[in-house]
Structure 1
C-alpha cells in the first residue's frame, strides 16, 4: 500500500491542489507554500501506485495551475500516469459517465485545471464542465452558495468550504470542518443551486470531520436513488464497485487542500 498522503489514509477520493513553484521544480501547495508543499512528480507517482493498488477507486485532481499546461502535462507523463488518465468528452453538455464505466475502462484519474484547457485531451478546464461557490471568505459567517466560476448550469458542482484570510486558517478549519457544518452547508447549497454537490473543498482535512460528512452525504444519495438497492453493512458506505453492480449513482467526494 502506498503512503501517498494523509488524504489516502482518511479515504479522501479527490484532491484539490495548487501547482506553483516555491522552489525550483514543480510543487503542490495551497496559497501559502511555506505551510507545506509536496513535490509534484513524486506525489503523482504515489497517486498512480495507489490507483493501481485500488482498481475500483477514482481520483479527481483539480489543479490551481500556476505554471503552463505543457509543463504540467509532461509531469503526468513522466510519472507514468498516461494509461490512467481519463479524457472528458469535448462537449461539456454530454452526460458524465457512470463510475462503473470509468472503472471498467481503467481510466480512473480525472485532471481538471482552473486556467488551462488542454492541449492534452485529458487536461480540461474545470469550469467548462463544473461550477462552484465563492471561495474568498474571511470568516465562517461569510460563506454563501452564490454562483462563482462556471456559472450556474454545469453538471459538476464544487463546494468551496474554507476560510482564507491571507491563507488557510487552522482555527477556522476547526469550526467549518465539523460534520454538522459541512452537512448543513452542502444541503443548503444544493437547495439554492438545484444541483447535487460533487466535490467539497476544505483546508486542513485532518481537522474536524469533513470526511464523516461526505460519507453521510454519499449514503443519503444512495438512499434517494431508487436505482441503487443497497444492502447495508454497519459502519460502511457503499463504494464505487458496489454502485457499479447496482446501476449506481455518482458519489460525492471529499477534497483536501
Structure 2
C-alpha cells in the first residue's frame, strides 16, 4: 500500500494508526491572505504553507462585485483582500496532494456570502480536488492510514451549512466546535465553546490569532476595522500558544485538532513555534523542517495599515 511504501503519515509513522480525530494539525487562519498587505494574515502562500507542514487551511468564499459568477477567495469584501479565483488555489492544493500521497489535509470554508453548494462542486471538479474528498460516515473517524489507502485525503468543512447535496462538503458545526475568534487581548485567551454555542463535538478549532481594533475617523457610524498583528506574532505563536493549548486540553480533556494561527512561520526566541507546540500536543518528536521560519514578516505596521485602509475607502469587519 501507499502507507507501507512511504512509512509515514503526515510526516510521522506514529500517525498512521491514529484516528484523524486524535491528531492536532497546524492550521492557517485566512490561509489565502498572504503577502504584505495590511489585511494579510500570512507571510507565505498556500503552496509554501503545505510544504512547510501546514495541514489545515481556512478559506473564505465570496463572489466579487465586478465578477459575480466566478468564486474568489476574499475577506468579507474583495476590495480589502482578493486572492483571486478559488479554483487557482484549489488547483494548487490538488497538485500538492497528487505529489504527496501520504498526506491528509483539511479545508474549513467560511461561507458567509451563502455561495451555493453547486458552485463549490464546480470549482472542486475544475481543480481536480473533488476526487480526494472524504465522506464521514456515522461513528469514529478513520485512521490516517485508512484515508491514505483509500486516497480520500481531503476533509472539507463549511459554515454556514451546505445543502447536503455534496457528501464530502460537510457542515462544520455538525462535527467541529470552535473557541472564540475575536481576540484582541493577548492576555485573555479563552477555552470556551464559541460556535456552536455550548456544544461539545468530536473535533475542535483552537483560534489563537490576535486582532488590533482600529476606529478610524473616516468610519461611518463608528464601525471598527479589525487588523492582524504581525508585530506580535513571535510572542503570540510561542509560549502564549503553548499555554492556551494546554489550558484547552485540560478544559475539554482532549487536544485541539485545528490549531489556527496567523503568520505561522513566526515563533519565539526560545525555540518554541507553532510546529513544535503542535508536535508536543501530538506526543511526537519535533523536527525542524520549516523553510521560512524567522523570516522578516514583511507586513505593514498598524500605522501603515491604517493609512492603507484609508486609501481603499471601503470598510468591513474582518471575520474568521
* Pair in the same fold by TM > 0.5: yes
Q: Deviations over 1:117-146 (max 9, x none)?
A: 322000111110111101122332332111
Asked if 1:8 corresponds to 2:16, the answer is: no
Cα drift, residue 204 of structure 1? 2.9
Q: Which has the higher contact order (CA 8 A, sep 6+)?
A: 2
What is the aligned partner in structure 2 of residue 160 from structure 1?
A: 207
What is the aligned partner in structure 1 of residue 260 from structure 2?
A: 201
**Cα distance in structure 2, aligned partners of 1:235 and 1:175:** 17
**Cα distance in structure 2, aligned partners of 1:123 and 1:173:** 35
Structure number with bigger Rg: 2
**Cα distance in structure 2, aligned partners of 1:85 and 1:21:** 23
Q: Deviations over 1:57-101 (max 9, x none)?
A: 011000001222221222111211222111112x3xx11111111
**Cα distance in structure 2, aligned partners of 1:235 and 1:204:** 17
Q: What is the total number of aligned residue pairs between the two structures? A: 225
Query: Aligned match of 1:62 in 108, 111, 129?
Result: 108
**Cα distance in structure 1, aligned partners of 2:46 and 2:141:** 28
Structure 1 residues 80 and 235: alpha-carbon distance in aligned structure 2, compared to 1, 3 A threshold: closer
- Superposed, 1:227-242 pairs within 5 Å as 235=288
Structure 1 residues 140 and 87: alpha-carbon distance in aligned structure 2, compared to 1, 3 A threshold: same
- Superposed, 1:168-207 pairs within 5 Å as 168-171=227-230, 173-174=232-233, 177-207=236-266
What is the aligned partner in structure 2 of residue 95 from structure 1?
A: 140
Ranges in structure 2 where 5+ consecutive residues have no aligned partner? 1-44, 214-224, 291-319
- RMSD of equivalent CA atoms: 2.7
Specify the SS of the correspondent of 1:120. coil
Cα drift, residue 167 of structure 1? 3.2
Specify the SS of the correspondent of 2:283. helix
**Cα distance in structure 2, aligned partners of 1:16 and 1:175:** 21
What is the aligned partner in structure 1 of residue 29 from structure 2?
A: none
Asked if 1:110 corresponds to 2:110, the answer is: no
Asked if 1:136 corresponds to 2:136, the answer is: no
Asked whether the 8 Å contact 2:179–2:195 carries over to 1, the reply is: yes
**Cα distance in structure 1, aligned partners of 2:132 and 2:241:** 31
Query: Aligned match of 1:48 in 94, 110, 135?
Result: 94
Query: Aligned match of 1:28 in 52, 73, 76?
Result: 73
Query: Aligned match of 1:74 in 97, 122, 140?
Result: 122
Cα drift, residue 198 of structure 1? 0.4
Specify the SS of the correspondent of 2:170. strand
What is the aligned partner in structure 1 of residue 222 from structure 2?
A: none
Cα drift, residue 179 of structure 1? 1.8
What is the aligned partner in structure 1 of residue 274 from structure 2?
A: 213
Moved more, 60-69 or 24-33: 24-33
Ranges in structure 1 where 5+ consecutive residues have no aligned partner? 224-231, 238-256
